Structure 1
Amino acid sequence: MTAAAAQKTKRQVPRLTDRSPTITGAEIVAELVPPPQFEHASFESYRPDLAYPSQMGAVEKLQAFAGAGQGQRTGGFFSRSRKVKAELPGIYLDGGFGVGKTHLLAALWHSSPGPKYFGTFIEYTALVGALGYQETITQLRSAKLICIDEFELDDPGDTMVMTRLLGELVKTGTRVAATSNTPPNSLGEGRFAAQDFLREIRAMSDNFETLRIDGLDYRRRKAEGHAVAVEPETLDHMVTALAQRGSQVTRDDFGALMTHLATVHPSKYVKVINGVSVIALSNVFLLTDQTDALRLVAFIDRVYDAEIPIIASGRPLSEVFDTEMLAGGYRKKYLRSLSRIVALTTGELPPHAE
């Protein structure tokens, strides 16, 4: 390929920064299902680490919770086949990164009767923003089960909205299951004046039985623990090769992407990456603004759900959050994101990207 042809190919590669999608409340509701990698998640396909008995224990508890929701006996490889009754309307999976909480949450969703919804915390708050509080209640009131992944309360407004939303739904018979890296009575610690909202936080946590799941991050069990950065010239060659073979690759300057994400609500990030098979980022640098960092966390969550590999030049993506952030109130959120970044970022040409 001539230099001119390579430059032409580079110009033709689409950019995420050119995408400014819209999303409606109905579209958000329609998307409240497990992400693609958990489309077939089941209790049987979960692979517990036998060195951590709490993982097997969580499977049994969740099967009992699913069985209680159906009012029938539970079955399956892990179950004890007995009739159970849930004492609380909610169950809360607390644990570190990569211990399979989302897999188990999706398995619960698949094994439970509908109507049912599965979404991240940010998707539910976005739904309230799109529809309004009362219409959201109307949309979700008939649900037998609501699954909330990555439950984190980052500001007082979200605290009050979500606790009251769940409280109203639970009163009408909806059962709730949630995952997070923070126990429900600790949500908000270090991020805002949690004592001012202690009543709301306690009211929410009183609805949940907490299950602690211990273990190692499966994404790092066979990984070096850091993302790979490639040279700028290598990035150029990889993007060109992907484009030539018809892959849906995008290429963006990291700084430009961060600026663009500030103009797009996080609920729309899923549409920003829709149809993309590989994301290429150039000139990655250290983030020092926490607002930008949290936007990146939300973006990486959606990229991870969509299983889109990332190739990047500049600073390794696993070193993008500064030390002050990693020691602050959002520490667990950043560490979860780093775990996902390590899993996504590759220094090799993705073999099956289309």
Structure 2
Amino acid sequence: MLNLIAPKLCCFLSGIHRLKQSMPKRKAGKMAKSYDPIAPVAEEISDEACLLCFDEFQVTDIADAMILKQLFENLFLHGVVVVATSNRPPEDLYKNGLQRVNFVPFIAVLQKYCQTLRLDSGIDYRKQNRPSAGKLYFLSSEPDAEATLDKMFDELAFKQNDITRPRVLNVHNRKVRLNKACGTIADCTFEELCDRPLGASDYLEISRLFDTVFIRNIPLLTLNKKTQARRLITLVDALYEHKVRVVILAEHLLEDIFVHDGDHSHDESHILMDDLGLKRVRAGSLPLQ
């Protein structure tokens, strides 16, 4: 019988980091060969599954980038088969990332063990309208937009066995505070979710705990907000993967939410477009991918 694991890469690597932390620590002061937790972790995974499938394989975190080569090399040596979808070919993974030179050997491992097939259908299903879900994207310029979201939240919260209050999430021993939540409903601002130094692990925890997330006050995203734009992409991707309903209040239409202002170098704008998956001929839209 074929054993299959099919997580998001960020979910999978969060589990890897937890396994690493649970492994025995090397003793201080010992000059002997340091204990390597990656090989036994890979062996444990290969005992459980012979096929790993990843949807939207992307690397955005330096801690993930540093372990991928050794982890996957060990998985392949144990006969594990990997199937993954990605918005980028292997050679563009972690493009412009911190210390990418240390990540490049992993690309060679992927190219050695995996075959690349182009399957782009041209359809982004996350942006497909679902009439049964009602209106979920609002413009701040619309009359009573804030009041409409308030009413939506109150109606959903009324069905919860809870009171509206702040929530503090524990993510890898860090405290992440959300100012307004009720049961499985979270009412957040863009500043709260994307201006703070949050990452995939935080967004995955939010996706696990809530089935509806309001994101208010998304501003126009320029190169000055490139870090926040990347966080927004990671957030929406995590929410989409976990089938969380997202209600958005933004200053601009989705297709106009990212613009290239003229105050930055040509090269820098191209780097950001590559990082965000934007086509250089049409940098006026921010695909939520």
| Cα deviation 1:102-121 (Å, max 9, x = unaligned) | xxxxxxxxxxx11x322222
Q: Is the 8 A contact 1:290 1:325 kept in 2?
A: no
Among 255, 258, 272, the alignment partner of 2:191 is: 255
CA distance in 2, matches of 1:317, 1:307: 22
Matched, 1:328 2:264: no
Q: 1:74 is matched with which residue?
A: none
Matched, 1:148 2:54: yes
Q: 2:152 is matched with which residue?
A: 238
1:44-83 to structure 2, matched below 5 A, reads: none
- Greater RCO, 1 or 2 (C-alpha within 8 Å, sep 6+): 1
CA distance in 1, matches of 2:103, 2:188: 40
Alpha-carbon offset, residue 258 of structure 1: 2.7
Helix, strand or coil for the counterpart of 2:248? strand
Among 14, 18, 26, the alignment partner of 1:126 is: 14
CA distance in 1, matches of 2:187, 2:128: 30
Q: Is the 8 A contact 2:217 2:250 kept in 1?
A: yes
Helix, strand or coil for the counterpart of 1:119? coil
> Cα distance 1:208–1:333, how it changes in 2: closer, same or farther (>3 A)?
farther
Q: Is the 8 A contact 2:199 2:234 kept in 1?
A: no
Q: 2:110 is matched with which residue?
A: 204
Q: Is the 8 A contact 2:95 2:275 kept in 1?
A: no
CA distance in 2, matches of 1:161, 1:204: 14
| Cα deviation 1:207-242 (Å, max 9, x = unaligned) | 11111113221525669xx95435212222222233
Q: Is the 8 A contact 1:118 1:148 kept in 2?
A: yes
Alpha-carbon offset, residue 279 of structure 1: 1.8
Alpha-carbon offset, residue 188 of structure 1: 3.6
Q: Is the 8 A contact 1:147 1:176 kept in 2?
A: yes
Matched, 1:271 2:208: no
Matched, 1:164 2:70: yes
> Cα distance 1:117–1:327, how it changes in 2: closer, same or farther (>3 A)?
same
1:309-320 to structure 2, matched below 5 A, reads: 309-316=245-252, 318=254, 319-320=256-257
Among 83, 86, 97, the alignment partner of 1:180 is: 86
| Cα deviation 1:297-347 (Å, max 9, x = unaligned) | 222112101222222334247354443488533132899x95558xxxxxx
Alpha-carbon offset, residue 160 of structure 1: 4.4
TM-score of the superposed pair, with normalisation by structure 2: 0.63
Q: 1:84 is matched with which residue?
A: none
| Cα deviation 1:162-198 (Å, max 9, x = unaligned) | 1221111111111111111111233344446756654
> Cα distance 1:128–1:306, how it changes in 2: closer, same or farther (>3 A)?
closer
Alpha-carbon offset, residue 124 of structure 1: 2.9
Alpha-carbon offset, residue 150 of structure 1: 1.9
CA distance in 1, matches of 2:202, 2:62: 22
Helix, strand or coil for the counterpart of 2:6? strand
Cα RMSD between the aligned structures?
Answer: 3.5
> Cα distance 1:170–1:333, how it changes in 2: closer, same or farther (>3 A)?
farther
TM-score of the superposed pair, with normalisation by structure 1: 0.53
Q: 2:165 is matched with which residue?
A: none
Among 121, 124, 133, the alignment partner of 1:215 is: 121
Matched, 1:306 2:242: yes
Unpaired stretches in structure 1, ≥5 consecutive residues: 1-69, 71-112, 342-354
Unpaired stretches in structure 2, ≥5 consecutive residues: 21-37, 131-135, 161-182, 261-268
Residue identity in the other structure for 1:139: E
Helix, strand or coil for the counterpart of 1:330? helix
Q: Is the 8 A contact 2:184 2:209 kept in 1?
A: yes
Q: Is the 8 A contact 2:226 2:272 kept in 1?
A: no
Residue identity in the other structure for 1:313: L
